[in-house]
A and B are shown apart, each in its own frame.
Chain A
Amino acid sequence: MLTCKDFLAELSDYLDERIDAELRAKLERHITECPNCWVIADTTKKTIQIYKGMEPYPIPSDVETRLMKALEKKMAAKQR
């Protein structure tokens, strides 16, 4: 029998679908019998979905300006 601890150890691979069919069947059997692990699996999956593709904020314009200046200087130096 799979324990909750065993289930948690495989949770990432289970959610990333990187496990074989046999283990998957065992894990799925466990969550039908264990409401706590079902909740953990479901809310962890939602956590990953919410974060996936979260775009970074644009960099502040002063930071951008200094970056481009530094880069232009480097590029100009290379061409000489």
Chain B
Amino acid sequence: MHSTPVPSQAGFDEAPFVAQARKGDDRAFAELVKRYEAKIFRLAQHITQNREDAEDVLQETFLRAYEHLDQFQGNSKFYTWIVRIAVNQALMKLRRRRTDKSVSLDESIDTGEDTVTREIAAWDEDPEQRFSREELGEILDSAIQTLAPAYRSVFLLRDVDDLSTEETAEALGLSVPAVKSRLLRARLQLREKLTRYFKRKGDDAFAYM
């Protein structure tokens, strides 16, 4: 889907930039945009499944955030706040594309016995080392694409972006139990997809059954 990953943003402290931006420092705001634009674009692409819509969502998110910066309470992370804006914008896009207008991240998802555990095979110790960085990126990306949209954004925020369960719930406008049940299903489904690539050589699925 894309080319090379950007440098790690681990340890980035957004607070001083947010404080400066709120005082009217446009350069500080631009710095926040640069820090988060790729993550917001990725999220928007995952929700809208459409590059053009994702670009619109990206722009609208940061323009709205800039315009309404005085409404940001500061008792949650700035990133959580803009994710919430982005999710709302992305859902509006989806609604416009559908005739029934009934899209939400709360749309009915199968809550039956679909905790997927068909493929049971042990993996190598460091299974990802069998693949180049690029191949691995493609495998991981395409596995996420196969998840239902309602699971995708939960997994992306909770496990990839490393938000807490509570922050994920806040950003997506979901309850904590809803986040937890979707996260479990997303994790199990991805585990199943990745087993195809990462299982120990010579081990068959069902080897332990």
Which residues of A come within 8 Å of B, CB atoms? Answer: 8-9, 11-13, 15-16, 35-36, 39-40, 42-44, 46-48, 50-59, 63-64, 66-68, 70-71, 74-75
- What are 9 of the A-B contact pairs (CB < 8 Å)? A13-B180, A39-B120, A44-B188, A47-B187, A51-B160, A55-B38, A56-B39, A57-B5, A71-B33
Chain B residues 33-75 with CB under 8 Å of chain A are 33, 37-39, 41-42, 55, 58-59, 62-63, 66-67
- Among B79-87, B104-112, B189-197, the stretch that binds chain A is B189-197
Residues of B within 8 A of A71 (CB): 30, 33, 62-63, 66
- 8 shortest interchain CB distances as A-B pairs: A57-B2, A56-B38, A56-B42, A55-B5, A12-B184, A35-B208, A47-B191, A44-B191
Main SS of the interface on chain B?
helix
The answer to whether A57 and B187 touch across the interface, beta carbons within 8 angstroms, is no
The answer to whether A51 and B38 touch across the interface, beta carbons within 8 angstroms, is no
The answer to whether B160 and A53 touch across the interface, beta carbons within 8 angstroms, is yes
Q: Which residue of A lies closest to B203 (CB)?
A: A39
Q: Which residue of B lies closest to A41 (CB)?
A: B191
Instruction: Find B198's partner among A46, A48, A64, A70 (CB 8 Å cutoff).
Output: A46
Main SS of the interface on chain A?
helix
Residues of A within 8 A of B62 (CB): 67, 71
Tell me whether B19 is interfacial, beta carbon within 8 Å.
no
A19 to B42, CA, bound (A): 32
Q: Give the distance to chain A from B58, nearest Cβ to Cβ, in Å.
A: 6
